[in-house]
A and B are shown apart, each in its own frame.
Chain A
């Protein structure tokens, strides 16, 4: 365990912890109104650790949907992480399989984007552990607090904080975009394709993110190879 790597990870993960704060709080709150106990709400955050899937589960529980359907739905929503962890594997230093199996649990959209956009070429397991522990801690603790306080943050603050995670994604993307047309095109094309799915409702959110990401990544790779051969 390298202490400096670990605290660098904690530091890199702090913006996730801030971004999770309002979302986990609201989740705890909604779970309470759905009729889940403090233990049940917190357990979902402890064992599942997947924002979108947990929110959807709450609405499906309210709608009286069968548990097995909720589980299937969770799978569909989270299948996009296949793509992210395959990509992340290129970025991580090789390590014992059990360690990778352990930190794999902590890969969410947010921890993935923080890890994947780090400047160092290869990342250590210790660094990843730092990022994940602070993000996970925030998610679990604020789920409980949300359920416990059972009252809202001031409305205006809640509205303002709903931007937090997107602001983080933008803050991670912009430095890589500077003077790099490839990064700009990758993000832009994926955003456009995903918007198309969003407005036409051809695919549900989980699939839409996965398909638009893959389409953009393959397309840009194909273009740059063609261009490379010509020059």
Chain B
């Protein structure tokens, strides 16, 4: 499903010049293709969030509680006390504009309210009026334009809802801000406030409810989860000729619990990454006796609570430690995912720790102590695999990926919330012979978002997604034309879900692959006889010439 608007049309109307009317005088127009459907009341109710009801953002009446302004005011006040980030970021912006053209949504839409500084001003203007003496006095003397302080009206609220769900919390603006003002943090607070009166989008509310109930956002029940993994076992055998054992599920006493986003289990091309993990673990089991279990209860790494409220995030995240404790594993290994890792890295131990029932992670194969995960006891699979390769524990034949001319998309959260930059590159360089970096201003900590993260990967907001993904696609297009790049590698399940649509739209001819799909293709099993003929996708392996013949 692609946007109804053709790429050329979309580009032609992307104008970065601001409109003639000031932003306070430009009313919000909720436009089709640019927003996600309102949350389904059942989902809102299931996770115990307030004001569950059917509503439609296009209608005038949003069916809000009578005292919604009061609820938001109290919520605002409470969050100012609870989060120094919020309070400091409300006070210290000088509107220097360094962040303005760093946001992919601004670059792609040209809508000035997508400049991070203005996104924050949407909250800040109300903060000034309600929580600062200077703002109150100035606004009563000279009005909202001079004071920059305005009342929280229904129009302002609509603006909040529209624009806080046009931010993917990617933090790129924060890299450039001289004070480290993080718009992701502002958006998180904005969305928390909106959730207090039951305003969310369904692509967040329903996955959150699913995660709560079944353990994963797609609502896959335990038996189906097992079926899917079993199905991959037969696929792997069919395509690669390698026979692997089905992954162990819910096994008590295993060494390691593995948790990956359920997107990997469900949708192509994430499924190939999932097969990649399975092949790697089977290899490690056969050669080194590694004992890994997967869980159906904690079968989601991605945390949709993160897009709802800190409390919901904590409630969903709790399953990881709870399951590790129940199964009695030594430590936890996490799959390739973006927000999942932001939550694991920066929130999990604080919210649901201490994980003193687990052991400090040590690779049973190389003996490497993952000191950077000493407290959380959770290691990223890129760290784990890079360490295996460095110690020569994997037999790899990178020429099997020769058909692939790869570039690598740093997923926002691992890069700007952890600093996981070189581990995946090290792995790539060992499993892939043709690797080309995108321009420096578009990778590593300056990486561009896929445009569909933070719960925005719905079908109905496709225009927003294609606009937001424009800067990412543009950089891919550059290496596609310059080096003939045909594959975009990534370490995020949302990326794998949404980048194919983005590539089809802007850079046809470029596919998307997770890191461990490439690892598994290159991995030579001990019993493997003769060369492999197909990759995990059932496509013939072969030299570059074959690719050119297409």
Chain B binds chain A:
no
- Residues on A close to B: CB < 8 A? none
